């Protein structure tokens, strides 16, 4: 599990930056992500959004996020502590406008903390693969927000996929653009 | 172009409406027809201890009795083998409740709420408590489990003799089929869903599941999950054990973990959970199934013996 964490952090946080520094016009937003799964938990965390002219004139956005129930439904409750590590890419419609529409694909890793060895026989790790679409609004100052709905194509089945991985989720993200040129 | 878009939209809406079929085709061999009824007085009298033993003796009042609640779309049939086991042993009584709305016609099932389902359990518990039974236990399989958990959460037992113990067999807090989480959206289009029954199960389970009842099921299990997140404490002296198949295509095994985390004994202790090497949903019911193995039978008998031993303590 620790190796997976390390790999994810290295891959997601360090890989995009050299590219970003070599381009003339890029946008890098970092911020907070609030996720509610339909009929399940609040899972909150952090996220980043990157685009540049070399990504089809900013029509493609690359993103990464970490959301967990530890600072959501499982905070001071008996909800299952679970983590979502996600990378993805969106296609932006109206990419030159303040108000944009996006659709994209995400993948990543899901982990549910079974806490005791007895329950470790149950599936608690899974690959994530989801479709997502939503609205994005860029404010005049370096803030932006997005509201989206997603569908996890891999979700719990009682056999091999963790049971607390549900299909439909909603996300609200707020980004602060620190690298805008 | 705009006209074309409107035509496409109208076609999609028409297709959606055409796919709505709220009334399935029911034949008389199905439980759904109402021809076969578990709710007739004869059937209820045979299954409910308060009916077949209305004037218990002092010895009988000191004998353990276990109220067994079946799952969604099932009938008392689900606990018949445990009743046979109890009859053979003679050390405890079994009272098989027929959940409200179940074992009747499709129309009766369609209009029942989960509170109606639960009312059959509370009714029998009250009767047995009022008759003076001192050692009352509960067993819930599948949906029977969240119905019993809700009775604990709502402090139902405060007014009656506290249960000595609660056994949950393959409880459902999370469905393995996650499409049910979208029942609020898809329900009107779906109308109902259909299940394939083995020959030995026909006439004992509903074939059709009206979307209204799937919404009730979702409401019940979602409420149970949230109640467990807040924490539920058992009545003083009440024991609880969960038995759960490790693979289950109906009640997701994560349900057992949620109950383990959410339920506490009155002194703050953990409840017992045992994960079983089984792929059957409600592995204690083998009658009517196809392909039952020796391992399945051994597991069933082991769990029945454990429940009996606990009640004899």
Q: How does pLDDT run across B83-133, given as a tens digit for each residue?
A: 999 999 999 999 999 999 999 989 999 999 999 999 999 999 999 999 999
Instruction: Grade residue A13 by pLDDT with cuts at 50, 70 and 90.
Output: very low
Chain A neighbors of B260, CB-CB under 8 A = 119
Write out the residue range of the structural domain in which residue B276 sits. Answer: 26-312
The closest CB to that of A80, out of B257, B273, B275, belongs to B257
pTM for the structure as a whole = 0.90
CATH of the domain at B87: 3.40.50.1820
Q: What average pLDDT does the structure give for chain B?
A: 92
* A40/B254 Cβ within 8 A: no
Fold of A38-177: Porin (2.40.160)
Cβ–Cβ contact A77 with B under 8 A: yes
Q: How far apart, in whole angstroms, are the C-alpha atoms of residue A153 and residue A135? A: 21
Quote the minimal CA–CA distance from A121 to chain B in Å.
Answer: 8
Q: Is the pLDDT of residue B8 over 90?
A: no
* A78/B261 Cβ within 8 A: yes
Does residue B247 sit within a domain? yes
Mean pLDDT, range B243-268, rounded to an integer: 97
Q: What is the pLDDT of residue A147?
A: 97
* Token pair of A90 as six digits: 């969106």
* B249/A167 Cβ within 8 A: no
Does residue B13 sit within a domain? no
Does residue B5 sit within a domain? no
Q: How many CB atoms lie within 10 A of CB B222?
A: 17
In A, minimum Cα distance to B251 occurs at: A158
Does residue B251 sit within a domain? yes
Q: What is the pLDDT of residue A95?
A: 86
| pLDDT 10s digits, B180-204 | 999 988 888 888 899 999 999 998 9
Domain ranges across chain A: 38-177
Does residue B4 sit within a domain? no
Instruction: Grade residue B238 by pLDDT with cuts at 50, 70 and 90.
Output: very high
Q: What is the pLDDT of residue A11?
A: 47
What is the DSSP secondary-structure string of A9-63? HIIIIISHHHHHHTSSSEEEEEEEEEEEETTS-EEEEEEEEEEETTTTTTTEEEE
Q: Is the pLDDT of residue B48 over 50?
A: yes
* Burial letters B234-269, b for 16+ CB under 10 A, else e: bbeebbbbbbbbbbbebbbbbbbbbbbbbbbbeeee
Q: How far apart, in whole angstroms, are the C-alpha atoms of residue B75 and residue B37? A: 10
Domains: count for chain B: 1
| pLDDT 10s digits, A64-100 | 999 999 999 999 999 999 999 999 999 999 988 999 9
Q: How many CB pairs under 8 A join A and B?
A: 79
The closest CB to that of B257, out of A40, A77, A122, belongs to A122
Q: Is the pLDDT of residue A10 over 50?
A: no
Does residue B148 sit within a domain? yes
B184: left (phi over 0), alpha (psi -120 to 50) or beta: alpha
For residues B220 and B150, is the Cβ–Cβ distance under 8 A? yes
């Amino acid at each position: 599990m620790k190796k997976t964490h390390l790999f994810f952090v290295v891959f997601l946080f360090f890989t995009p930056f050299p590219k970003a520094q070599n381009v003339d016009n890029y946008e890098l937003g970092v911020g907070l992500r609030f996720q509610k799964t339909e009929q399940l938990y609040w899972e909150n965390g952090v996220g980043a959004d990157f685009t540049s002219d070399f990504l089809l004139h900013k029509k493609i956005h690359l993103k990464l996020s970490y959301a967990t129930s530890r600072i959501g439904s499982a905070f001071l409750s008996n909800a299952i502590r679970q983590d979502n590590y996600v990378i993805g890419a969106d296609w932006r419609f109206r990419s030159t406008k303040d108000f944009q529409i996006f659709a994209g694909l995400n993948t990543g890793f899901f982990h549910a903390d079974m806490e005791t060895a007895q329950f470790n026989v149950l599936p608690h790790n899974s690959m994530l693969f989801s479709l997502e679409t939503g609205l994005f609004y860029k404010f005049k100052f370096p803030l932006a927000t997005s509201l989206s709905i997603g569908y996890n194509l891999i979700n719990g089945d009682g056999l091999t996929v963790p049971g607390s991985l549900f299909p439909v989720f909603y996300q609200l993200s707020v980004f602060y653009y620190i690298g805008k040129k | 172009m705009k006209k074309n878009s409107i035509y496409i939209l109208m076609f999609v809406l028409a297709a959606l409406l055409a796919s709505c079929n709220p009334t399935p085709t029911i034949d008389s061999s199905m439980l759904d027809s109402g021809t076969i009824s578990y709710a007739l007085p004869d059937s209820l009298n045979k299954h409910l201890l308060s009916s077949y033993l209305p004037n218990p003796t002092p010895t009988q009042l000191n004998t353990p009795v276990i109220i067994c609640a079946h799952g969604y779309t099932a009938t008392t049939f689900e606990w018949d083998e445990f009743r046979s086991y109890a009859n053979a042993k003679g050390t405890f009584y079994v009272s098989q409740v027929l959940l409200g709305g179940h074992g009747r016609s499709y129309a009766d099932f369609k209009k029942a709420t989960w509170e109606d389902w639960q009312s059959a359990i509370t009714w029998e518990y009250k009767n047995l408590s009022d008759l003076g039974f001192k050692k009352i236990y509960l067993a819930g399989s599948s949906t029977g489990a969240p119905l019993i958990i809700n009775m604990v959460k709502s402090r139902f037992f405060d007014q009656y003799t506290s249960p000595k113990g609660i056994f949950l067999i393959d409880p459902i807090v999370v469905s393995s089929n996650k499409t049910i989480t979208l029942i609020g959206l898809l329900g009107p289009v779906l109308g109902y869903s259909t299940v394939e029954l083995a020959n030995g199960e026909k006439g004992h389970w509903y074939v059709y599941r009206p979307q209204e009842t799937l919404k009730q099921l979702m409401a019940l299990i979602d409420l149970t999950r949230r109640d467990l997140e807040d924490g539920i404490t058992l009545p003083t002296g009440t024991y609880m054990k969960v038995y759960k198949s490790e693979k289950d295509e109906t009640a997701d095994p994560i349900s057992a973990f949620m109950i383990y985390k959410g339920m506490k004994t009155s002194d703050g202790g953990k409840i017992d959970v045992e994960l079983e090497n089984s792929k059957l949903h409600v592995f204690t019911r083998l009658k009517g199934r196809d392909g039952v193995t020796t391992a399945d039978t051994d597991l069933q008998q082991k769990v029945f013996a454990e429940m009996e031993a606990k009640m004899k303590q």
